[in-house]
Amino acid sequence: PTEIAVRARQLREQIEYHNYRYYALDAPVIPDAEFDRLLRELQSLETQYPELVTLDSPTQRVGIAPVAAFSKITHRVPMLSLNNAFNDAEIEAFDRRCRESTGLSQIEYAVEPKFDGLAITLSYAQGRFVQGATRGDGYTGEDVTANLRTIRAIPMQLGIKQPPALLEVRGEVLMLKADFAALNVAQRERGDKEFANPRNAAAGSLRQLDPRITASRRLHFFAYGIGAADGWITPPTHAEIMNQLLDMHLPIARQRNVVQGVSGLLDFYRQIGSARAQLPYDIDGVVYKVNDLVLQEQLGFVARAPRFAIAHKFPAQEELTQ
């Protein structure tokens, strides 16, 4: 009956909104018990009326049947990796190259943490999540759509009224430090192998053929850019792309900024470096991107890496002593 279908749609929207509050804003507005009640109400409606179940219903976050193997996906826009810099002199050289190639005396950069997880791409058609893949070799990755549906930080619908016809979101799947520690305790108790670090735990959890195993691991996601886009008016800067991603209910880094020149870059590097141990997730550096997208075009890519962006890495973390 229609009022049941209306109630089911209402519940789906409310649950997805609370996921946004919790994972993208880190500011839930209802207690977990109330969230669970909404989910149970939707589950009971879908059990009574199976025709109400949709693939992207919040009740399907527990994972569907496993696949025998992952199929391959070729990225419409390659997912290229960043060049690395390890000291201030290399960053000064990066900034100099950007100034010389653009003829500008000072460059504005968008800066953000470099998540140490697994790069993935999410495709949204008319605002609905339809496909997701790993980075692979940058040109071809594995189709892990069913596994990504279980990650509650990844919205199944973009949270805007007029979504683009197609939008590819690039980002990182990761496991929070606390969830990693708890997982290893559980692994040890089960007699299963422990993971060396959160990055391996995230990769191992995402690349499971059985989505129900992925669903049992607490994975998180942060968006950091865009791939292909059809029917979307690209904003003029990277910082504004990030604002729009958050408006669309995608989680993004909280510690991001827009800075001027090499001094702004190095200040951010030190600021994040001193806060690194307190962050809830592992990072292996910070990322600097020329903010203006027209300048990014001008600077382009050398070989396979962009000339307009660079990762500034921290010294490798000494292995945690027991």
Ligand X SMILES: NC(=O)n1nc(-c2ccco2)nc1N
Q: Which residues are catalytic?
A: 114
Q: Please state the closest distance from residue 297 (CB atom) to ligand X, in A.
A: 14
Please pick, from the candidates 172, 179, 282, 292, the single residue that binds ligand X as defined by CB under 6 A.
172
Q: How far is the CB of 10 from ligand X (least distance, A)?
A: 35
DSSP conformation letters of 102-164: HT-SS-EEEEEEEE-SEEEEEEEETTEEEEEEE-TTSSEEEB-HHHHTT-TTS-SB-SSSS--
Q: Does 82 bind ligand X (CB under 6 A)?
A: yes
- Nearer residue to ligand X within complex by CB, 195 or 281: 281
When asked if residue 251 is in the footprint of ligand X (CB under 6 A), the reply is no
Distance between CA atoms of residues 136 and 8, nearest Å: 37
The CB-of-52 to ligand X minimum distance in angstroms stands at: 38
∠173-174-176 over CA atoms, to 5°? 150
C-beta of residue 109 within 8 angstroms of C-beta of residue 284: no
Q: Which residue has the tokens 């800066």?
A: 111
Selected binder of ligand X within 206, 226, 287, 290 (CB under 6 A): 287
Count, residues near ligand X per rule CB under 6 A? 9
The least distance separating ligand X from the CB of residue 77, rounded to whole angstroms, comes to: 11
Q: Does 309 bind ligand X (CB under 6 A)?
A: yes
Comparison of 45 and 82: residue with beta carbon closer to ligand X: 82
> Which residue, 42 or 226, is less far from ligand X as judged by CB?
226
- Site map (CB under 6 A) of ligand X, residues 218-237, x = contact: ------xx------------
Assign 54 to helix, strand or coil.
Answer: coil
Residues 100-119 that bind ligand X (CB under 6 A): 112, 114-115
Neighbouring-strand partners of residue 257: 111
Position 95 contacts ligand X (CB under 6 A): no
Asked if 253 and 26 touch (Cβ cutoff 8 Å), the reply is no
Give dist(CA 31, CA 26) in Å, integer: 13
